[in-house]
Each structure stands twice: as structure tokens, then as C-alpha cells.
Amino acid sequence: MSLTYYTNNGTRHDQKHFDNGDNTSYRPSEIAREIIMNALYEAVKKEHGVYNNIYLEHVENDWGTSRAVAVRKKMIQFIGRIFKKYHTSKFDMSGHPIVHDVFHEAEKHGELKFF
């Protein structure tokens, strides 16, 4: 879904991905961080109680739910370390869905030890 905006003369434009809001691009390192965080988020996301990651599904099917939960917790810890390193004042990622959907949920259950 792209955002649409109108210029002062009424011309309609679709906002590009990774746009700073003024028709300038993020820096390449910022784009890379965003893409990596999105991929990591997809790796641990659950939708309707089902893993969004085929490998976690394999673990659950082959080794059981408790093993899949343990693997996912470990993945979240690793992702948290990566997030902590690259979340800076110059590149604020506090609005990323992984913060609310994954980190805050894990924090409620005492599973995060890095924040």
C-alpha cells in the first residue's frame, strides 16, 4: 500500500518506498536496516497462533510445541541484540511493528533480558 499525496498545484503523486516524506530517499544503510528488520520480524511473527516461518513449523511438527517456542524465544533474543545495536537517534526504529508485536509481548512474559 503506497501513500498518495497532492502537491500545491493539485498534482497527485504516490509516495515511494523509503521516502523521507520530501521525495528524497533514505540512505542505503537505512534502507538495508529496514529490510533486514522486516525480514527478522517476518521470521518470528505469528498470525492466528500459526508461525509465519516454515522452519519454526518444521520444528513444531517434528520436535513439538515446546521446542518451537524455545527456538522462537532464542530468535527473539538474537533479533533484540541486532535491534539494540542499530536503533540509534539518527535511525529511530521504535515505531517498527517488531517492537510492539514481538518485543513488548516477550517482555510481558519475562523473556527479554536486553532492554
> What's the predicted TM-score (pTM) here?
0.68
pLDDT, greater one: 69 or 19: 69
- Whether residue 115 has pLDDT greater than 50: no
Q: Answer whether residue 21 is part of any domain.
A: no
Contacts of 63 (CB under 8 A, 6+ apart): none
Q: Answer whether residue 81 is part of any domain.
A: yes
Q: Answer whether residue 17 is part of any domain.
A: no
- Whether residue 28 has pLDDT greater than 50: yes
Range of the domain at 43: 28-108
Cα–chain-centroid distance for residue 110? 20
Q: Answer whether residue 23 is part of any domain.
A: no
The mean predicted confidence, pLDDT, of the chain is 79
- Whether residue 84 has pLDDT greater than 60: yes
Domain tally, the chain:
1
pLDDT per residue as tens digits for the range 88-97 = 666 667 777 7
**CA 27, 99, 58 angle in degrees (round to 5)?**
100
Q: What pLDDT, on a 0 to 100 scale, did the predictor assign at position 54?
A: 93
- Cα(first)–Cα(last) distance of the chain, in Å? 32
Q: Answer whether residue 12 is part of any domain.
A: no
Q: What are the Cα distances from residue 92, in Å, to 58, 69, 83, 89, 104?
A: 34, 29, 10, 5, 17
Contacts of 103 (CB under 8 A, 6+ apart): 76, 80, 83, 112, 115
Q: Answer whether residue 114 is part of any domain.
A: no
- Whether residue 86 has pLDDT greater than 90: no
- H/E element, 20: none
